[in-house]
C-alpha cells in the first residue's frame, strides 16, 4: 500500500491528520503506539491510549519518548485534550470510543466481552474500527460488519497480522488473474494440549501474556485467524481443525493438498514450513499461454501456483490499516456475509462437572475451525464464549463442547450479539429462499 504515504502527506498538508485512539496497551498495543509516534507522524496522530492498568497506558507513551501526557476520565475532557494537541491517557474505554474528535479506534485487548462493548460504542459514535482482536472477530465479526455498514464506517482486521497479510495476498493473486483456491498460514508448532504451565517460560522470555502464547501453541489462535480469513473469502475447511500437513518449505505445499480440496476453495495451514511465520495462497490458472509465461518466470508448471509472503509484521503495518479505513474506506479483512467457518471448543483434558472454564489459552480447552453448517447443526459452543461458563457434565479429553454442556454467565453483551448474529443471518437465508 505505497499509495498510503502520499495520502497521509496530503492529510498533513491539509491540516487534517487521522486521529487515533488505542484500546489496550499490552505487548502489541504498546508496539502500535510506538510505531505511530515514531514512524507515522505525518498525517496521523496517536491521540489517546486506554488500558485497564493505567501504568501500562503511560508506559506506551514513555516507550515512544513521550513524557508529557494528560490524564482524562470523560469524553469531554479527552476532546479538549485533543483540541489542544495533547497526548491523553484515558481511564474510560467507552469515553475514548465516543469522543467526537477521534477518527479511528484500534481495539487491541484480545478480550471478547470487553472488546464487544468498545466496538459497539465506537460504531455507534461513527468511528472506524481496527481490530487487533481475532477472538472477537471470529465469533461475531459478521454482525459487527453489518452494524458498521449501517453506520457508514469501516471495521477491519489488520494489515500485518496473518488475516490481513493473507487477504492482501489473496486480493493481489486474484488481481493478477490467478483464481485463489487455498488460503493458508505457516505454523511452527501445533500441540493441542499445551497449557500456561508449559508455555510460561516462552511467554516470559518474549514479554507476552502466557494465555496468549498458549493460544498460539494449542492451535486456538490459528483457528481464530483462519476463521476470519474464511469469513472474508467464503472458503471453508476440508476437515475439522484443518489438515496442517508438514513440509520443509512452503513451495512444497503444492503437492500436499488434494485436487478436491483445491477445487472447492479451502483454508488450511502448513506445519514447520519455511519461511515462517508467513502466509500463502495457492492460485489457479489454466491458460496455456499464461502458463508458458509463468514457467519462464520460474513459477512452476501450473495450473496451480504458490504465492507466499515470508513474514507478518502486526504492529508495524497496522497504521496502514488505519489509513486505508479512514482515507479509502477499504478494509484489509472483513466478513463478506454470514459466517462460513466457526471455532468450536474441545476439552484438553478430562473435565468434571462444575468446572468453570478458563477460556482461550487456558488449561481446559482448545479451539478448532469447523464449517459453520456443521457447527450450527451440532449446536457447538464458540471457543470465544467459553470463558466463565460452568460445565454441567463430565467431559472426556478431546470431547467437543456444546451449548447444552454449559451454563453461560448472565448478562454478557457478547452472548446477545452472538444470538442476534445467528438470528440475523438465518432470517436472511429464509427470506432469500422464500
| Averaged pLDDT for residues 155-177 | 97
Predicted confidence at residue 289, as pLDDT, reads 96
Predicted confidence at residue 427, as pLDDT, reads 67
Count of C-beta atoms within a 10 Å radius of residue 27: 19
Predicted confidence at residue 163, as pLDDT, reads 96
pLDDT at 430 over 60: no
Predicted confidence at residue 2, as pLDDT, reads 72
Torsion angle (degrees, nearest 10) of CA 268, 272, 278, 279 = -20
Top-confidence residue, 432 or 98: 98
pLDDT at 360 over 60: yes
Per-residue pLDDT of 280-310, as tens digits, reads: 999 999 999 999 999 999 999 999 999 999 9
Per-residue pLDDT of 28-43, as tens digits, reads: 999 999 999 999 999 9
Residue 207 pLDDT level (bands cut at 50, 70, 90): confident
Give the three-state DSSP class for 341.
strand
- Percentage of the chain exceeding pLDDT 90: 97
| Averaged pLDDT for residues 5-17 | 97
Per-residue pLDDT of 211-270, as tens digits, reads: 999 999 999 999 999 999 999 999 999 999 999 999 999 999 999 999 999 999 999 999
pLDDT at 375 over 60: yes
Per-residue pLDDT of 317-335, as tens digits, reads: 999 999 999 999 999 999 9
pLDDT at 431 over 90: no
Predicted confidence at residue 276, as pLDDT, reads 87
Count of C-beta atoms within a 10 Å radius of residue 417: 21
CB 121 within 8 A of CB 40: no
- The mean pLDDT value of the chain amounts to 96
pLDDT at 1 over 80: no
| Averaged pLDDT for residues 152-166 | 96
Cell of 118: 468498545
CA atoms of 42 and 64, how far apart (whole Å): 16
Per-residue pLDDT of 48-103, as tens digits, reads: 999 999 999 999 999 999 999 999 999 999 999 999 999 999 999 999 999 999 99
Considering Cα of 346, then 350, then 355, then 360, what sign does the dihedral take? negative
Q: Between the CA of residue 111 and those of 57, 99, 212, 230, what are the distances in Å?
A: 17, 22, 11, 21
Predicted confidence at residue 30, as pLDDT, reads 97
| Averaged pLDDT for residues 309-318 | 94
Predicted confidence at residue 349, as pLDDT, reads 98
CB 361 within 8 A of CB 210: yes
Cell of 354: 462444575
Give the three-state DSSP class for 46.
strand
| Averaged pLDDT for residues 131-151 | 98
For 350, residues 6+ apart whose C-beta sits below 8 A from its C-beta are 394, 395, 396, 397
3-state helix, strand, coil in the chain (%, to 5): 45, 20, 35
CA atoms of 230 and 170, how far apart (whole Å): 12
Cell of 265: 476453495
Amino acid at each position: 500500500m505505497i499509495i498510503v504515504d502520499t495520502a497521509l502527506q496530503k492529510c498533513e498538508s491539509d491540516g487534517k491528520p487521522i486521529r487515533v485512539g488505542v484500546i489496550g496497551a499490552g505487548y502489541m498495543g504498546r508496539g502500535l503506539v510506538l510505531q505511530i509516534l515514531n514512524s507515522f507522524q505525518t498525517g496521523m496522530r496517536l491521540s489517546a491510549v486506554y488500558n485497564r492498568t493505567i501504568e501500562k497506558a503511560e508506559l506506551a507513551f514513555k516507550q515512544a519518548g513521550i513524557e508529557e501526557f494528560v490524564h482524562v476520565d470523560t469524553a469531554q475532557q479527552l476532546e479538549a485534550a485533543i483540541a489542544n494537541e495533547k497526548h491523553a491517557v484515558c481511564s474510560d474505554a467507552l469515553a475514548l470510543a465516543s469522543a467526537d474528535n477521534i477518527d479511528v479506534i484500534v481495539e487491541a485487548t484480545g478480550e471478547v466481552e470487553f472488546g464487544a462493548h468498545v466496538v459497539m460504542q465506537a460504531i455507534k459514535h461513527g468511528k472506524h474500527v481496527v481490530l487487533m482482536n481475532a477472538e472477537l472477530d471470529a465469533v461475531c465479526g459478521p454482525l459487527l460488519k453489518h452494524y458498521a455498514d449501517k453506520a457508514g464506517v469501516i471495521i477491519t482486521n489488520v494489515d500485518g497480522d496473518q488475516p490481513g497479510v493473507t487477504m492482501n495476498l489473496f486480493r493481489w493473486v486474484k488481481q493478477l488473474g490467478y483464481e485463489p483456491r487455498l488460503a493458508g498460514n505457516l505454523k511452527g508448532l501445533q500441540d493441542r494440549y499445551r497449557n500456561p504451565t508449559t508455555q510460561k517460560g516462552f511467554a516470559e522470555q518474549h514479554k507476552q501474556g502466557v494465555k496468549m502464547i498458549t493460544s498460539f501453541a494449542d492451535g486456538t489462535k490459528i483457528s481464530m485467524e483462519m476463521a476470519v480469513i474464511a469469513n472474508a473469502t467464503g472458503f471453508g475447511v476440508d476437515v475439522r481443525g484443518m489438515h496442517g500437513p508438514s513440509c520443509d518449505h512452503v513451495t512444497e505445499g503444492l503437492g500436499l493438498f488434494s485436487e478436491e480440496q483445491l477445487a472447492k476453495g479451502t483454508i488450511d495451514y502448513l506445519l514447520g514450513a519455511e519461511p515462517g511465520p508467513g502466509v500463502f495462497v495457492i492460485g489457479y490458472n489454466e491458460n496455456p499461454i499464461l502458463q508458458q509465461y509463468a514457467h519462464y518466470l520460474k513459477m512452476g508448471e501450473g495450473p496451480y501456483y504458490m504465492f507466499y509472503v515470508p513474514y507478518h509484521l502486526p504492529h508495524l503495518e497496522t497504521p496502514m490499516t488505519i489509513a486505508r479505513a479512514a482515507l479509502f474506506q477499504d478494509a484489509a479483512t472483513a466478513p463478506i456475509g454470514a459466517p462460513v467457518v466457526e471455532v468450536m471448543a474441545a476439552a484438553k483434558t478430562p473435565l468434571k462437572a462444575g468446572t468453570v472454564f478458563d477460556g482461550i489459552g487456558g488449561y481446559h480447552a482448545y479451539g478448532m475451525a469447523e464449517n459453520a453448517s456443521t457447527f450450527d447443526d451440532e449446536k457447538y459452543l464458540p471457543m470465544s464464549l467459553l470463558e466463565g461458563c460452568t460445565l454441567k457434565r463430565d467431559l472426556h479429553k478431546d470431547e467437543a463442547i456444546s451449548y447444552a454442556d454449559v451454563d453461560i454467565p448472565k448478562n454478557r453483551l457478547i452472548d446477545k450479539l452472538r444470538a442476534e448474529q445467528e438470528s440475523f443471518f438465518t432470517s436472511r437465508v429464509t427470506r432469500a429462499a422464500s
